[in-house]
Structure 1
Amino acid sequence: MQQPLSTKKNGQINIVLKKNQHEYSTLKEPPAELQQKIDVMNEHIPLKQIETEMDKLIGLQDIKEVLREMYAWLYVNEKRREVGLKESSQALHMMFRGNPGTGKTTVAKLLGKLLKDMNILTKGHLIEAERADLVGEYIGHTAQKTRQLIKKSLGGILFIDEAYSLARGGEKDFGKEAIDTLVAHMEEQREHFILILAGYPKEMEHFLSLNPGLKSRFPIVIDFPDYKVDELMEIATLMFEEREYDVSTEASMKLKQHLAQKASYKKDFSNGRYVRNIVEKAIRSQAIRLLEHKEFTKKDLMTIRSHDLSFQE
């Protein structure tokens, strides 16, 4: 069956079915099942938008499925509420486990947008924080700083990276005060903000073991896998293309060889940010090289060559 095209004018939906290259027929009143299909498509626009954004990201297939499940649960929960059924009460506080540069912050931002579009969050903004933003210098200071951060996060997401560092100082460290304040507000403000704790997988597991009651407060745990070398190459290629640069064959081979070597001796190397830094440095190096030219072709201005690439250890 051919796909319908729909237009809406003065509250009336017209369905256009393409018969062949030159002939069309129009139904002023669509069949009930076709109307239902159109309504469903329009109703799930937030899901389609987040899937479109996620499709632009390299890898992360399991995470894309988790976001789809989350959307489906929230959608069905709302439908149950509308017909008087019990709603499934579940906090949306989350834990992101993964190495640096694996897309945790990017996904958190997209999640905020999705939940705003679904009217779960009023703003959907992301507040990023780390230990220094929460832990104070004297008794009472930490609770004050933590409450201020939570206040800024209301209507959105509070994203705490390297969250395990809050417990690194032991019982007398002020980091424990930050944890206690966060736990209290997670319950009191559960409908007004979402807390995401992020960090290395092993360290996050140890962090949770220090506070038995903490693990149960994060029903959603998302693991961010390391990028493979081919995926890092895809990320680099995409970054160059977005900036309208072409990479020569020699430069591409040099970059892939470097990433493979880096991954072979550096444990848990998967850093998308590292790739971004390489891309930006190559663009600056190309600019320096082109200073020696008096005239430029379009190809000159677009091409990244092998000696434009340099790497930091």
Structure 2
Amino acid sequence: MTIRVTFHPENQQSPVIQTPIPPKPEVSAHSTEGIGIRIRKNNFSSTEKDKDKIAEILAELQSYIGLETVKRFILDLQAFVEIQKRRVQEKLVSEPLVLHMIFRGNPGTGKTTVARLVGRLYKEMGVLQKGHVIECERADLVGEYIGHTAQKTREQIKKALGGVLFIDEAYSLARGGEKDFGKEAIDALVKAMEDNKDNLVLILAGYRQEMDWFLQTNPGLRSRFPIHIDFPDYTLDELLAIGNLMFKTRQYELTKEANEALRSYLQFLLHSHPYAGNARLVRNLVEKTVRKQAVRLFQKSTSSREELIQILPEDINMETI
């Protein structure tokens, strides 16, 4: 059963969540039966300290700029897990938690950040033992000769046990065709999902179209990842807010004129760069601006505290990123 989250152009609108009625269980090679995290009473002995930590993690989630629909979906997911815990306490039938996910979106839209938060949240909720996140890509999984790939993939899986294995640009595992060793990595991952169903969450991430293609190359994968989340590009106002927050964290302040210059430049980038709507580009712009301010101030023999903090319009780096 795939939970599909679709984002509207306006951040304020609620996501469209399509949850098909699950078919009657049947035995097949693609069945997800038995690969979920089964809720047990000893898994969920929540204390007040645990609840405080969960509240802290959720507060951090809410502090993120943008990602409104992602935030709401994570809260829905938390509610589902908590209700399953209550059903166990009342000796009612509970659903196995199949929490493997597909994150789709452009670079810098928060996929890795949310994956780290999800790991911590699952740990505090008793779903995972450790909640750490092991981040890897094709080079960390695929070897150079027969047998090497399975070994490398198992090593990454072993590191991730008790937490989350996050694979960025996961579609690259299927790009080499039938004879490529990437297929061996996929097979090893599928086996690990079954062998470690109580102690591992797998998150595959990448561009939207490429991830759709990747799932089509292996129909068995789609059935094993019931949660699909799309990460939208940031709006102009969100990018500006991210930029201001990055400057503030570094103890810099933009003048009113510099803030307008930053807005104008971001607007230009949104129209000229194919993947401009992300935080990674803003971070690069902030770092270049700080360096340009340093070069400007270096021309003077001394600088006041205010000068060291202040970002002027001429500091906004107008070079193409």
Please report the TM-score for the alignment, with normalisation by the length of structure 1: 0.84
Q: Distance in 2 between matches of 1:232 and 1:152?
A: 35
Q: Distance in 2 between matches of 1:43 and 1:105?
A: 24
Instruction: Tell me which amino acid in the other structure corresponds to 2:229.
Output: I
Q: Which residue of 2 aligns with 1:219?
A: 226
Aligned residues: 275
* 1:90-105 equivalences in 2 (<5 Å): 90-105=97-112
Relative to structure 2, which stretch is displaced further, 264-273 or 165-174? Answer: 264-273
Q: Which residue of 2 aligns with 1:259?
A: 266
Query: The residue matched to 1:113 in structure 2 has which SS?
Result: helix
Is the 8 Å Cα contact of residues 101 and 229 (structure 2) preserved in structure 1? yes
1:47 CA drift (Å): 4.0
2:298 pairs with one of 291, 295, 303: 291
Question: Higher relative contact order at CA 8 Å, sep ≥6: structure 1 or structure 2?
Answer: 2
Is the 8 Å Cα contact of residues 46 and 118 (structure 1) preserved in structure 2? no
Is the 8 Å Cα contact of residues 47 and 71 (structure 1) preserved in structure 2? no
Q: CA RMSD in A?
A: 1.8
1:61 pairs with one of 60, 68, 72: 68
Q: Which residue of 2 aligns with 1:149?
A: 156
Write the deviation string for residues 81-125 of structure 1: whole angstroms up to 9, x where unpaired.
122111111311111000000000111111111111112111111
Relative to structure 2, which stretch is displaced further, 270-279 or 201-210? Answer: 270-279
Q: Distance in 1 between matches of 2:83 and 2:249?
A: 37
Q: Which residue of 1 aligns with 2:235?
A: 228
Query: The residue matched to 1:79 in structure 2 has which SS?
Result: helix
Q: Distance in 1 between matches of 2:201 and 2:121?
A: 13
> Unaligned regions of 5+ residues in structure 1, if any?
1-38
Write the deviation string for residues 115-151 of structure 1: whole angstroms up to 9, x where unpaired.
1111211111111101111010011111110000000
- Identity level (%): 51
1:196 and 1:112, CA in 2 relative to 1: closer, same or farther beyond 3 A?
same
Write the deviation string for residues 4-52 of structure 1: whole angstroms up to 9, x where unpaired.
xxxxxxxxxxxxxxxxxxxxxxxxxxxxxxxxxxx99987434422221
Write the deviation string for residues 231-258 of structure 1: whole angstroms up to 9, x where unpaired.
1001001111122211122222222222
Q: Distance in 2 between matches of 1:173 and 1:152?
A: 24
> Unaligned regions of 5+ residues in structure 2, if any?
1-45
Q: Distance in 1 between matches of 2:152 and 2:137?
A: 12
